[in-house]
Each structure stands twice: as C-alpha cells, then as structure tokens.
Amino acid sequence: MEYCVTTDQDGIVPVRNIYCIGRNYKKHAVELKNEIPRQPFFFQKSTPALNTSNEIILPENREIHYELEIVVLIGKAGESISISNAPKYIQGYALGLDLTDRNFQSELKQKKLPWLLSKSFRGSAVVSSFQTKEILSDFWLKINGDIRQKGKASQMIFSISKQIKYLSGMIPLTEGDLIFTGTPSGVGPLCKGDKLVLGIGSKTIHSLSIS
C-alpha cells in the first residue's frame, strides 16, 4: 500500500519517510520540563501513521496529545545539503499534528528507549495539503473555537534549513520524505467530540473532528 500527500502543483506524492525534530521551540521544551537541545535530534513516525483525512480516531484507553507543526515535503534526493541550498530541496509546506501517546512516551523516556511506538499509531501523523509558499505568518491550532497553540517559524531553535542540513548529513534524504519541524508551546490532550481547525494568519488550512 502506498501512502501519499497532495500538493497544490504536483497532485499526489508518495511519502517515503517521516522524520520529526524534538524540542525545537524553547517554550515547548520548558513546558515538558526538558533541556533545550544544543543540536537537533530526530525521531521517526511510520508511514502507516500518515493521516490526510478530516478525522482522528483516538486509540482506546490512551491519552493522546496534539502537537501542531509546520511540515515540509522533500522534493528531490540529497545528502550533506548545505543551509544555503536547503530550500531548493523543499517541494512544499503544510501544517500537521504530531499526535503523541504522552504517558507511553514518558515511560519510554524513563527507560531511555526509542519513542517510535508512542508516536506511530494509526492516524498519528496528520498533514494538510502542501503548498509551495513558505509559511512565514503565525500558524495556529483552534480546538472547539479556542486557540490552543500559535507559533512562527522564526521562533524555531533550529531553522528548517538547519534541520535539512543536519538530517541530510546523517542520512540521505529521498524524494517524498516529510519533516515535522517542531511544535510551539500549548500541547495538550484530545477528547472525543473535539473539533480542530489548523490555520495560517487569517486563513483556515485544515479541519478535523475527533472520534
């Protein structure tokens, strides 16, 4: 089975890998009582976690937290990419939600084990359609009409170009890779019946319901 995203110019694009940077906004690191990183670190979500629908189905008996993020789509393969050349490898920008089984993640952290299984349940990598325009305005998440998260790319500890440089220096990037670029503060749990709206500036980008 192929897992795909949509773009405003190129239609449907198959997704290869899903990478996520951790603790890339200072206030978010602080709210989870984590140290602010001195260099980027990444974890992965499985491709079956990809969710381009308008619905999130919560797993039973698990506390699932939302984490709003800018997501970039890699448009061509590359390795050891420079910061100045990094934008040339980006095919599109979207908003996404890195859904997290928070209690399970905390257990894994305590045992110093990988986070994969707390991040990769079905539907846990939510992404909107990708646009070619860079996201420079405030991006935000509303739940049941209230703004829960708001951020800006300029607030990142490690810029998108720096993330691409670092990640491509460690592992080759391929066409169709996604990078979740970090979440601002304000993360919290989701409940059945919640209505979510993701937006940029004054524009709504994606809407979801929770079941």
Per residue in 163-204, pLDDT tens? Answer: 999 999 999 999 999 999 999 999 999 999 999 999 999 999
* Domain ranges for the chain: 4-210
Residues 6 or more apart whose Cβ sits within 8 Å of residue 24: 37, 40, 156, 157, 158, 163, 181, 182, 183
Sign of the Cα torsion 174, 47, 25, 206 reads positive
Look-up of token digits 């319901």: 209
Q: In this predicted structure, what is the pLDDT of residue 128?
A: 98
Render pLDDT for 90-142 as a digit per residue (tens, 0 to 9): 999 999 999 999 999 899 989 999 999 999 999 999 999 999 999 999 999 99
* Alpha-carbon gap, residue 149 to 120, rounded angstroms: 22
H or E segment and range at residue 123: none
Render pLDDT for 137-165 as a digit per residue (tens, 0 to 9): 999 999 999 999 999 999 999 999 999 99
The pTM of the whole model exceeds 0.85 = yes
* Alpha-carbon gap, residue 48 to 1, rounded angstroms: 9
CATH T-level topology, domain 4-210: Fumarylacetoacetate hydrolase; domain 2 (3.90.850)
Is the confidence at residue 9, as pLDDT, over 70?
yes
Q: Which of 104, 78, 84, 102 minimizes the C-alpha distance to 179? A: 78
* Alpha-carbon gap, residue 96 to 211, rounded angstroms: 18
* Alpha-carbon gap, residue 211 to 208, rounded angstroms: 10
**In whole angstroms, how far apart are CA 18 and each of 15, 96, 130, 161?**
8, 12, 15, 17
* Alpha-carbon gap, residue 119 to 135, rounded angstroms: 25
